[in-house]
Amino acid sequence: MRMPIKKLLEDNILYVALLITGVVAVLSFVSIKGLNPIKIENSDKIGHWLAYFTLGITWYVYALLHKKKIAVVFLILVGYGIIIEVCQGLFTLNRQFDVFDMMANTLGLALAWIIVSFLYKKN
């Protein structure tokens, strides 16, 4: 018997959100020099934006499905991004603290919030 996608999402969104949170953390501390195919200055900001957009989508869907406030989730995720940036500056040799990375992270989270809220209200 096929499980409806909505039910599958509801049952597993926490695991998906935790997995993406972990992937973001790992990618934040490993060296990815030479893996970026885009040769534009500050193109890594696109990666930050996309990672936190994806992170935001999953956690916001979790929040909506479990009657949590998206604003609180947003603030927690912004804090998560700040903590990772600070740790990069303190504990790694290959990554550094960058305010513009934090801005890209926050923009990804904000756009995810807008899109999820719009789609949720539409249904």
Position 15 scores a pLDDT of 95
Query: 38 pLDDT exceeds 90?
Result: no
| Close Cβ partners of 17 (under 8 Å, ≥ 6 residues apart) | 55, 58, 59, 61, 62
Residue 52 counted as domain residue: yes
Residue 10 counted as domain residue: yes
Position 1 scores a pLDDT of 46
Position 116 scores a pLDDT of 95
Query: 57 pLDDT exceeds 90?
Result: yes
Residue 37 counted as domain residue: no
* Domain of residue 66, residue span: 5-30+45-122
Query: 3 pLDDT exceeds 90?
Result: no
| Close Cβ partners of 72 (under 8 Å, ≥ 6 residues apart) | 63
Tell me the C-alpha distance between 60 and 50, whole Å.
15
Query: 28 pLDDT exceeds 60?
Result: yes
**Which amino acid appears at position 25 of this protein?**
A
**121 or 76: whose pLDDT is higher?**
76
Query: What's the number of domains the chain is made of?
Result: 1
Q: What share of the chain is helix, strand, coil (3-state, %, to 5)?
A: 75, 0, 25
Position 83 scores a pLDDT of 96
